[in-house]
Structure 1
Amino acid sequence: MSSKETIAAYFPGLIDLAKDKDERIVFLFKNEQGLQAAQRVGLEGELLVPPAIEHLPFLLPQAEEVIGFSGQEDTKLFDDVLAYLARFFYLPSNELEIFAAALLATYLQDHPEVFYLPVVLLFGPPERGKTRAGKAFTYASFRGIHVVDLREANLIRFTQNLRATLFLDFQSFWKKALQEGSSDILLLRYEKGAKVARVLFPDRGPFNDTRYFEVYGPTVVASNDPVHEILDTRCVPFSMPNRPHNYEVPAPEKAQDLRNRLTAWRSRMMDRVLPEVELLPGRFGDITKILLQVGSLFGRDFTPILREIGQEKKSSGLTETIEGVIIQGIVELLPQVKNGTLRVDDLLRKVNALRGGRYPLTGQFIGKKLRAMGFKKRFVKGRSEIFIETSILNPYLRDFGLGEVSLHSNGTFYLKPFSKPFDNTTNLKKEVESVESVDSYKGVGVGMREGEGEGGGEGIPLKHSTHSTLSTFCPESIEIIDDSEGRELAGKGVESESQEHRPNDNDEVQAQEPEGKSGVGEDQAVQGRAGTEGQSQQPDNGRGPGRRQSRVITIEEQAQVLQPGTGKVRRYGIPIISFRRR
């Protein structure tokens, strides 16, 4: 191996590592020619080669299959992911959809518009299928690894070198994390750009002794015991029900077809703008945004079920945290509030009673907690009182899903609970009636109405963006390097049916405007095969090798999730077509 070669498993623009038909490891990446496969690539003056297979502890997609899938929209992908998961374990259909969305989100972890990923938490008594569910998820996810220890060195290497999805399966998960000194890594994995510090060279003095490591990445946790309350705020929990059945045993090879299709989906999505969605409140809204976006891409609205999960998390926090018990105590003592104040010793007795009398709290501790929570305090005749202000109390009540407090004209407070009807709707046209049959998940395409065939129904418009996400993901400097033995794996992109040259940055054509419509739509990055109609050329501006014949992207060949409109078709790395919102 040349001394100038650098082993790499990730670089900007890389879709994934894959195996070619000769079982050699190749890079799958996107450049101005589209999806390419090569054993060696040059990037910013470096010659990059993939790691050996023994250093890749996850299932690799098949290069030829991925390239074959990349040129077409896979409208049944989400339904087939649901069917795959249902073979190995049971979850209610609405929760299974969220679980499937989290799996697809692992393929978008480095998308320019994704900043948070939820930690998938599988919990429940032993023998409920947590490990089966975790393995099924891991084998089909982006570079999934089943981790059997929590040593910080391994977690950091899996993240920095491989960008892996980690499945952490332990009986006393948090206790082991504290023992191994990896709790900070686990707490920060949900946030892009998060780093942890480690002192590696104490003899080098200040600053030079410390290294910082990225720890962001998709995470699945299975545990019999409750996780730490701080980690719980980063989690989307799944309680595994007791549904005995003769399920299949998860295995990597059973996920091979999905790995190929999901990798092709990643290649199409990484330079597209993600849909706009309405966020849920708080940190839970941050971590579930990507789940709502994945659902929107496949014509599903996960807002009702995610809102219900969020409310359940808040309700559990009411009794599992000191702050929650304090708020509960204040609510129960509202009738005793006089002149807008409540005696702290009355609140202390109520809090200790709500806690069941175990480990009684002291007045000093409660006083410090109340001050930290923002409640103002005063002393009257040697007794401590707190002011009950709706501006301080109501945000806590909303966080815990209790409602809001209002002040009567007579000076008394009353609680108005939230009405929380849960519309457990889903866009699955056919739910699993029993765990024996999973075929009913199949056959529903994107935006399809019941009874329509593939490709029916209306699309969902993507979010408008004035910037090109393509330029932030796919650098233009990636090039295929000839192997020293003359073995170059030529990039096999999506070829046009007419075999015309691909247009360059300087080529521009006017898209056909649908009859009766006018106006300029919003630019969206899309994939597809090329037609050859409506061609024209613009003068060379010096940025490309010269004028080449351009091509129109036909509407029929675009994603079902896009709503066609009018505007210009341009070439910038991959074809771009204008779309109008519905």
Structure 2
Amino acid sequence: MRSDPSNIESKVHPAHLADVRQSGLSDETIAQHGIYSVCPGEIKRIIGWDPPELKSLLAFPYPGCNGFTRFKLFPPLQIKNGHTMRYYQASGSGVHLYIPHPVQEVLKDPSIPLAWTEGEKKALKGCQEGIPCIGLGGIWNWTASDTKEAIAEIDRIAHVDREETIYFDSDIWANPSALQALYVFAKELENRGANAKIAVIPQRGAEKQGIDDFLVAEGVEGLKKLRLITLDHSAFGQVKKWYKNWKKDAKVTTEAKENYTALFPGLVDIVEYDDKPAFLVKESRGLKILSQVELEGICYLPPPKDKIPWLVPRADMVLRFYKEDSDQALYNDLITYHRGISELPSDSYYDLLATWDFHTYLLEQVQYSPYLYLFAVPERGKSRTGKGLIYVAYRGIHVESLRDAYLVRVANNYCATLFIDTLDLWRKAEKNGTEDLLLHRYERGACVPRVLYPERGAHRDTVYFNVFGATVVATNEPVSQILQSRALQISMPDSFRRFENDVTPEDALSLKERLVAFRARCLDKELPQASKPTDGRLGDIARPLIQTIRLVNPDRENILINVLKELESQRKNDRRETLDGRILEAIAKLWDKIRHGKIEVGEITKMVNEGVPEKWQVSSQKIGMRLSALGIQPAKSSDVRQRIIDPEKMEKLFEKHGVRKVNPNDPNVQDNAQISVSIGSCGNSQNNDLSLMSRQMSLSETNTDNGLGQEGQEGHVAEGVDNILFDEEEEIVI
């Protein structure tokens, strides 16, 4: 609201006019900046209450601040704790810079020096005398009150190599707390690239002077003669020590007040834009880079750069690859990249790694993510291979520690891909209490509970964390059988090749940026449908890889399927070496001992322990427990020494565990003759001998066989053991 200078008395009360004229302001300056008086009848409407001692208000509208106004109180009010209230602004209206109209025009020109001072009148006096000057509402009124960070309006100014001089009142040198504020402000300008200096305004006898008083008394020529000092001056010696602690506290306060997120619908990834983290978001009209996002009425920022534990992709490169790259070209380059890092069992395994790379960027659309389990003795390239994977994977983090709190948080807050590279991984997982996290990461929706607030009582003390994410594990010792069942195991071969180059995030950055661009292209696409490539859990965890390669490079699907079939065969071989596999192999060898569809636990125990040193032999109780876990139930609930043999069930168990033992054939089981068991190659076909045996067993289920030998006595365990439940995949390695 600008006034006519010739009619200024009608807008500004005489007492107010005297006040601003004392600062040397002309009527033209007053009118140009819309300064006006508030009559007593309007005071309550503006400030919300009507203190009897308050007579009037002088309004200073802030140019370019959407109606924001500060009011000088006449007379000042005495408030709590003996403080004096001299100015008022509306609650919640924030902190703003007073930038007079002439200064607005030169903010972007760093060749024009700037002056800074306290208050609106002083800034206007400087501008009136040809000195572009910005006013602070108070010596701290350039920071957000809750975070101590500089307000955004300071970003409007071009600071680099600009001469910026601070003109604070003359009494500041005798006020330690004010001196601290001066130092922090000057430091802020320096950090932004300005050549910051502080003018030393002298006292006028016993009275303080501001820049307006000094200009009225000495003019511009006198101002030019003032001594200017920098932050290196000895006057700031004590303040420098204080500043270090203040900066730490301010950083903690800022981080505590701001809301951060790295996960929300439509987010492609966090990218680097103008040297800061930003959100790359996919909307219906294309990609968009946002510095913040509002979710359910709350404003969120990307995590600070120093809190992101992976190399952040560059926004400009991602946008370029989004338009120019192709999935097949990227796939081929990933194979070349992995081939240059380590030796794998065969060339087709590089297809597995490249497909898994793509898969980590599509986790929203899948139910499972298979672990990659790199297993070998030392110096076989496990760590190199894992690093190569994690540096191109979606939000890949390389960890050598199993600290529970850290792993839970990066999984829950980032949905990060983890490369866990440690000796004797499973023992360390048990020691750190992270077994549940490792076992559950492979499946969407899996959460792990952590009791964080015991003082809150039942149902309020526990927090559930989402830990689903892609995982690479490298170790030199076997891990839990359950974890192995959720992994694709790559046994690293001994290599005769020399790999000269180190594996670094920087070398992989371009591939990572191309994969982020791939994610942006496919974020709103559905994956192709695919059947499970193998049976059991392996088929569950491998299906997302088949869907991925059908999307990216369908010509290579058969190569990937062959790798998965090879891994399936390897699993069967591994199962055959477990206790369960040895038990099943013993049953196959003892087929001629089956009577009336039943077999003695003692006979199985004797066969399992054949040729095994006594201290490593397995007890009949343990054998009985494993038989129950395999679903081979006791003939009678009161006697677990005999087990029922169901040929169809046994055929599936033999197939799953790779048992292919062939025994002499005799279709008449009741006559103690021998029956043929050809396992592993029969698939789903029904063996005639097994069908005959099944019929004979169904006829003899009610028969009682009391002829227990010594082995049967050894196989006796407490009644009820057969009711113990086991995980189908839980196997014990001897």
TM-score range, shorter chain: 0.5 to 0.7
The CA distance in 1 between the partners of 2:322 and 2:436, in whole Å, is 38
- Alignment correspondent of 1:347: 604
- Could you report, residue by residue, the CA deviation over 1:548-574 in whole angstroms, capped at 9, with x for unpaired residues? xxxxxxxxxxxxxxxxxxxxxxxxxxx
Q: Does 1:260 align with 2:517?
A: no
Which of 361, 366, 373 is matched with 1:107 structurally? 361
- Alignment correspondent of 1:363: 620
CA contact 1:405–1:413 (8 Å) conserved in 2 = no
How does 1:79-478 map onto structure 2 within 5 Å?
79-91=332-344, 92-111=346-365, 114-247=366-499, 248-279=501-532, 280-297=534-551, 298-299=553-554, 300-301=556-557, 302-320=560-578, 322-353=579-610, 357-378=614-635, 384-402=641-659, 409-411=667-669, 412-419=674-681
CA shift for structure 1 position 413: 3.4
CA contact 1:18–1:62 (8 Å) conserved in 2 = yes
For CA contacts below 8 A with separation 6 or more, give which structure has more relative contact order. Answer: 1
- Could you report, residue by residue, the CA deviation over 1:202-221 in whole angstroms, capped at 9, with x for unpaired residues? 22211111111111111111
CA shift for structure 1 position 16: 0.4
Change (3 A) 1:98 1:358: farther
The CA distance in 2 between the partners of 1:187 and 1:236, in whole Å, is 14
Q: TM-score, normalised to structure 2's length? A: 0.54
CA shift for structure 1 position 293: 1.4
- Could you report, residue by residue, the CA deviation over 1:106-131 in whole angstroms, capped at 9, with x for unpaired residues? 111223xx010011111101111100
- Could you report, residue by residue, the CA deviation over 1:351-394 in whole angstroms, capped at 9, with x for unpaired residues? 12275654322223322332333223347xx9932222113312
Change (3 A) 1:43 1:355: farther
> Which structure dedicates a bigger proportion of its chain to helix?
2
Structure 2: which amino acid aligns with 1:335?
D
- Alignment correspondent of 1:507: none
- Alignment correspondent of 2:47: none
Structure 2: which amino acid aligns with 1:110?
E
Q: Does 1:75 align with 2:328?
A: yes
Taking only aligned residues, the RMSD between alpha carbons, in angstroms, comes to 2.5
Change (3 A) 1:213 1:289: same
Structure 2: which 5+ residue stretches go unaligned?
Answer: 1-143, 148-256, 684-734
- Alignment correspondent of 1:66: 318
- Alignment correspondent of 2:280: 28
The CA distance in 1 between the partners of 2:587 and 2:682, in whole Å, is 22
CA shift for structure 1 position 45: 1.8
Aligned length, in residue pairs? 416
CA contact 1:88–1:132 (8 Å) conserved in 2 = yes
- Could you report, residue by residue, the CA deviation over 1:85-112 in whole angstroms, capped at 9, with x for unpaired residues? 111111121112112211221111223x
The CA distance in 2 between the partners of 1:48 and 1:138, in whole Å, is 27
The CA distance in 1 between the partners of 2:666 and 2:291, in whole Å, is 74
Structure 2: which amino acid aligns with 1:223?
T
CA shift for structure 1 position 400: 1.5
CA shift for structure 1 position 285: 0.9
CA contact 1:103–1:141 (8 Å) conserved in 2 = yes
CA shift for structure 1 position 166: 0.7
| Identical counterparts, % of pairs | 35
CA contact 1:343–1:383 (8 Å) conserved in 2 = no
Which of 261, 269, 272 is matched with 1:19 structurally? 272
Change (3 A) 1:403 1:159: same
The CA distance in 1 between the partners of 2:380 and 2:682, in whole Å, is 30
Change (3 A) 1:371 1:259: closer
Change (3 A) 1:140 1:56: same
- Alignment correspondent of 1:457: none
Q: TM-score, normalised to structure 1's length? A: 0.68
- Alignment correspondent of 1:471: none
Structure 1: which 5+ residue stretches go unaligned?
Answer: 422-582
The CA distance in 2 between the partners of 1:216 and 1:64, in whole Å, is 30
Change (3 A) 1:354 1:332: farther
SS in 2 for 1:385: strand
Structure 2: which amino acid aligns with 1:390?
P
Change (3 A) 1:18 1:89: same
SS in 2 for 1:242: coil
The CA distance in 2 between the partners of 1:212 and 1:349, in whole Å, is 47
Change (3 A) 1:9 1:325: same
Runs of 4+ in structure 1 deviating by more than 4 angstroms, as ranges, are 1-5, 354-358, 403-409
CA shift for structure 1 position 148: 1.9
Change (3 A) 1:66 1:317: same
SS in 2 for 1:384: strand
- Alignment correspondent of 1:466: none
Question: Which structure has the bigger radius of gyration?
Answer: 2
The CA distance in 2 between the partners of 1:210 and 1:188, in whole Å, is 18
SS in 2 for 1:6: coil
CA contact 1:88–1:250 (8 Å) conserved in 2 = yes
- Could you report, residue by residue, the CA deviation over 1:428-461 in whole angstroms, capped at 9, with x for unpaired residues? xxxxxxxxxxxxxxxxxxxxxxxxxxxxxxxxxx
